Every structure is written in C-alpha cells, then in structure tokens.
Chains A and B, each alone.
Chain A
C-alpha cells in the first residue's frame, strides 16, 4: 500500500535558512509527529507538502501521486490546520463552513454541525471574534468535515488549554482507528507526542536527524551522564548528540544496553525521554562551547 505521504530529498533554500535532503514516509493509519525547535523548518515542510511553498529539490508524493501534478484532487483528500489560522474573519462560523464546504465533493454537513456543537463553537459568531484556540478548533472542524484521509496539523496545540489539548489528542487517536486516516502533526510540545505519535521525525536546522518509530527511540536510546573522562569511551557507541554540563558530559546514544555494558557504575545511563532527544539530538560539545 502507498504511503500517505512520502518525501524524498526535499530541499529548500531561503537566505540563510535551508531545508536539506529531507526524506521520510508517513504510513497510512498512523500518527507521525514532526518535532523540532523554532526555525527547524517544520512549517516550511508542511507548506511544501501543501504546495504553498515550492521545494528547490526532491519530490513529494501524496497517496503515491506527485503532489504538484495532482495538486487539486490530492488537496481534496487532505485536511490542514495552519499554525496561524487564517480564515475569512468577517464571516460567521456557519457561513465559513458553507463556503469551505462548497469546494469539497466529500463535505459532510452533518459532521460539520455535530463537530461544531461538540467543540462548542458558536455557529453565529464571527471568526474574528474567536480566540486562537477556538480558531484552531474551527480549523480542525473544517478539516474533519470533508473526511480527509491525511490530516496535516502545524502546531495545533500551541495556545490551547490543557483540557482541549487532551481532547484533541484523543480525537486524533480515534481518527486513525479506521486504518485509512493518517496524521502529520508538527509540535514542540513533547508530551503531546509521547501520548499519541506512532512515528517521529526530528528536524533541526532544516535536517532530519531522526526518523522512525517513537517507541524504538524511547525503549532503545539512552542518555549517558558522567564526568569528562567518559568522553573517549563514548566513541565506542553510536552517539547522536553531546553537550557539556557542570558534571561533565551528557550524551545521547542509540543503544541503552551497550552503554550500560561499557560504563557500568562509572556513568549514569538512563532511558532517553523525548525531552532528552529534543535537547541532545544533533547537539555537539563544540557548539555548546561557542554559545
């Protein structure tokens, strides 16, 4: 079966910022988290997928088709929520639904009405009078009402209250249970990822530093903390990032068991959390020294 989304060698240069050779796949029926610090290139990547920004290199395939050649028909199968929801602000929620719905053959008015009620969106209120959180909800309602098979959410949980964040995550988990809907979810909130993502893609300075199953990462990767003397021994391991600390060195390594064998009691070896990965992946001690 075709991937819901497949990026191969995608590149984009914008002044000093560059996305370099970004490749990953989104298997159908799963949630993939796109993680990275500010300026890592998450939004640019999402925009490239939606053809709002043109890649300088590489290819993007959605449901096995070139995303530019079949753009319009593919976008009818994609639901999106942008990080800064831009809507026709002077319309009421209800009017916006009718307007956006007219573009989709698969639009389900009943679902729109139901979700509007469930998300407690005042249907007669103007979009301009909605809070950011409400706008995100509206974006989500619009995306879900045309039965999208691929949902692309660019930092949707930023600025949402914890209750709705949890509700949103549960809803996303529920969505993929049909096995046909896939979700690409960019975020900086790692607890969200821990809760729902099946796969993760870590981006940093426009490069993919890790792409794979989230549980593999959490189960197998480790953080090693020790004095400066462990530096030379780290070379025996597959190190994915290091930084200097007050104690000495902190390193992210791919093999927890191997790290325990090598260091024994001489260093603290623990399961890596997503926070650790976020902090350490791609970091180097030289870089620490520079900053």
Chain B
C-alpha cells in the first residue's frame, strides 16, 4: 500500500506542491486584507483546501487514463482503495495543517485580526476534511475528476433550485428547519457529553463515516471496469 502512496506522491508531486504553494500564499494574503477573520472559518477553509488536494489527485488518474496501468500492477484493488484513503488523509491533514500554520503565522506577524480561539480550529479542520473525504472520495473513484466537478455543479444547482422553490412556494422555513434540526441535534449532544466527550464524539463520527466510505469505495472499485 505504501508503494502506491509513494507512487502517487511521486507522480503528482508537482501538482501537490503547486497547490500547497498557491494556498500557502493565498491564505495569508487574504487574511491580511480582511478586517476580521473568524478562526473556525479559516480552519474550515484550510480543511476544504486540504481535502481537495487528494481528491484532485485521484481524479487525475482518471483524466490520464492510467488506472489501467495501476490495476495491471501486482496490487489488489482493495489495496489501491486503501492507499487512496491513507495517502489522501496524510495529504489532506498535512495540507490543512500547513495552511492553518501559515494563517497563524500571519496573525503572529501582526497582519489580520483573528476572531475566536484556536482551540476548536483543529477539530473544525479535521471534521471538514473528514466530511469531504467520506462524501466525495467514493464518487471520485467511480467517476473521476470530471464526475466530481459535475457532481459539485449538480449540488450547487440543486441548492439554488431548493432555495428558489422555497422562496417561491414558501417552504423556506421548512428548509431552514431541516438544516437547523440536524445541526441542533448534533449540538444538543454537547451538554450530556461535555466538551471533551463532544469533541471525541465528532472525531469518532468522522472516523465511522470514513470507514463506511472506504467500504463503499472498495465495493465500487472492485466492480469498475477499465
């Protein structure tokens, strides 16, 4: 599995490096221009950027049609999927942390004005990465980069349609209730679990989601034909 992870890093080192450099510059520049920068929002953004790096890496294999070569190598498809998740998490966490560190450095240098504490920032970043990886990796493994872009466009259009129809037909409250209900249910756990227990619950939920996503990806990839 590590040979595959190493291979991906070698193959896509330029793309990965370019992404890192771009966001490591972009983050601090934007922060220095903002009057107020909520720390948790920055952590969420770092998580999104971190998670997109491995996703685009998986998508590139589809774009260049090199999956045929990968699956002709002496590795099982399950190992290919495992390497995507392990390598993906390493890259996403590494990327997210590096960007977060760069933003922190920006504040330390006196540029930008952070709002809120850094305590929960790591957790926000982690949960963001976990949700994106768990949700989009199976999809990317099946449909590639074009499919991923298509899916993201589709969800945006779906969102617009939902909000438009809510505005037109008066279901706005229902949509808000639904989203608020889910968020509220998760937040409601804060009291019985306590702050540490709640954080651990979120981490565990992300892990469980990713394990489920891994098994789904494995199921999908075993059936893929090239």
A contact residues vs B (CB 8 Å cutoff): 47, 50-54, 71-73, 75-76, 80, 82, 86-91, 95, 99-100, 102-104
Contact = CB atoms under 8 A, between A and B. Distances in A.
Interface in B62-112: 64-66, 68-69, 71-76, 79
A42 B65 CA distance: 20
Interface of B: 3, 6-7, 10-11, 14, 64-66, 68-69, 71-76, 79, 223, 225-226
Nearest to A100: B73
Contact of B72 (A50, A73, A89, A91): A50
B66 A87 contact: yes
A72 B68 contact: no
Contacts, number: 58
Nearest to B7: A99
A86 B68 contact: yes
A112 to B, nearest CB: 16
A251 to B, nearest CB: 39
B221 to A, nearest CB: 12
Given A102-B6, A102-B7, A52 B76 contact: no
Contact of A103 (B10, B66, B75): B75
Contacts of B14: 90
A99 B75 CA distance: 14
Contacts of B64: 86, 88-89
A76 B10 contact: no
A52 B3 contact: no
B196 to A, nearest CB: 43
Contacts of B69: 82, 86-88
Contacts of A54: 223, 225
Contacts of B79: 72
For the residues of A in contact with B, the DSSP-based class is loop
Contact of B71 (A52, A90, A100, A102): A52
25 contacts: A47-B226, A50-B71, A50-B72, A52-B68, A52-B72, A53-B225, A53-B226, A54-B225, A72-B74, A72-B76, A82-B68, A82-B69, A86-B66, A86-B68, A86-B69, A87-B69, A88-B64, A89-B64, A90-B14, A91-B11, A95-B10, A99-B10, A102-B6, A102-B7, A103-B74
A232 B76 CA distance: 56
Contacts of A99: 7, 10-11
Q: Which 4 A-B pairs have the closest CB atoms?
A: A76-B74, A75-B74, A52-B226, A53-B225
A103 B73 contact: yes
Contacts of B3: 102-103
Contacts of A80: 72
Given A52-B226, A103-B7, 10 more contacts: A47-B226, A52-B72, A71-B76, A75-B72, A86-B69, A88-B11, A88-B66, A89-B64, A102-B7, A104-B74
Nearest to A143: B72
B68 to A, nearest CB: 5
Contacts of A76: 74
A78 B193 CA distance: 55
A72 B11 contact: no
A72 B80 CA distance: 11
Given A86-B64, A86-B65, A99-B10, A51 B71 contact: yes
Contacts of A82: 68-69, 72
A14 to B, nearest CB: 9
Contact of A75 (B11, B66, B73, B226): B73
Contacts of A53: 225-226
A104 B3 CA distance: 10
A71 B70 CA distance: 13
Contacts of B6: 102
Nearest to A73: B74
A86 B76 CA distance: 19
A82 B73 CA distance: 13
B76, B79, B223: most-surrounded residue (chain A CB, <10 A): B76
A166 to B, nearest CB: 27
A155 to B, nearest CB: 15
